[in-house]
Amino acid sequence: MKYDVVVVGGRISGSIASLYASKQDVNVLMIEKNQEIGTPVQCAGGVTRSFFETLQMKPPQKLICSEIEGAILHAPDGEKFLTKNSLLQGYILERKMLDKALAIKSAEAGTDIMLKAQVKDLIIEKGQVKGVIVRHQGKLLEIPSKIVIGADGVESQVARMAGLHNGHNPQDLISCAQYEMVGLDIDPEILEFYFGFNKAPGGYVWIFPKGENRANVGLGVRYGANSAIYYLNKFISHLKGKIVELNVGGVPIGGPLKKTYSHGVLLTGDAAGHVDPVTGGGMHLSAVCSSLAGKIAAEAVINENLSSSYLSRYEKEWKKRIGKNLQRSLKYRALFDNMDDEELNSLIKFLNTNDFKSLSTLSILKLAREYPKLFLVLKNIL
Ligand X SMILES: Cc1cc2nc3c(=O)[nH]c(=O)nc-3n(C[C@H](O)[C@H](O)[C@H](O)COP(=O)(O)OP(=O)(O)OC[C@H]3O[C@@H](n4cnc5c(N)ncnc54)[C@H](O)[C@@H]3O)c2cc1C
> Residue numbers of the site for ligand X (CB under 6 A)?
8-14, 31-34, 42-47, 118-119, 151-154, 157, 176, 178, 218, 247, 249, 251, 269-271, 275, 280-284, 286
Question: 43 and 132 in contact (C-beta within 8 Å)?
Answer: no
**In angstroms, what is the minimal distance from the CB of 6 to ligand X?**
10
Q: HSE of 54 in the Cβ direction (CA atoms, 13 Å)?
A: 20
Residue 254 gets which letter from DSSP? S
Q: Name which of 196, 149, 190, 154 is nearest 172 in CA terms.
A: 154
- By beta-carbon distance, which residue lies closest to ligand X? 282
Q: Name which of 43, 40, 248, 29 is nearest 117 in CA terms.
A: 29
**In angstroms, what is the minimal distance from the CB of 15 to ligand X?**
8
Q: What is the DSSP string of 317-358?
A: HHIIIIIHHHHHHHHHHHHHHT--HHHHHHHHHHHHHS--SS
**In angstroms, what is the minimal distance from the CB of 289 to ligand X?**
9
**In angstroms, what is the minimal distance from the CB of 191 to ligand X?**
9
Question: 114 and 32 in contact (C-beta within 8 Å)?
Answer: yes
**359 vs 375: CA distance, rounded Å:** 12
**In angstroms, what is the minimal distance from the CB of 382 to ligand X?**
25
Q: HSE of 326 in the Cβ direction (CA atoms, 13 Å)?
A: 25
44 vs 378, which CB is nearer to ligand X? 44
- Give the number of other CB atoms < 10 A from CB of residue 339: 18
38 vs 377, which CB is nearer to ligand X? 38
Question: 26 and 5 in contact (C-beta within 8 Å)?
Answer: yes
**In angstroms, what is the minimal distance from the CB of 149 to ligand X?**
11
Helix intervals (H) in the chain? 12-22, 50-54, 95-109, 157-161, 228-236, 283-302, 308-318, 324-337, 341-353, 361-370, 372-381
50 vs 352, which CB is nearer to ligand X? 50
**In angstroms, what is the minimal distance from the CB of 118 to ligand X?**
4
**6 vs 30: CA distance, rounded Å:** 6
**In angstroms, what is the minimal distance from the CB of 272 to ligand X?**
8
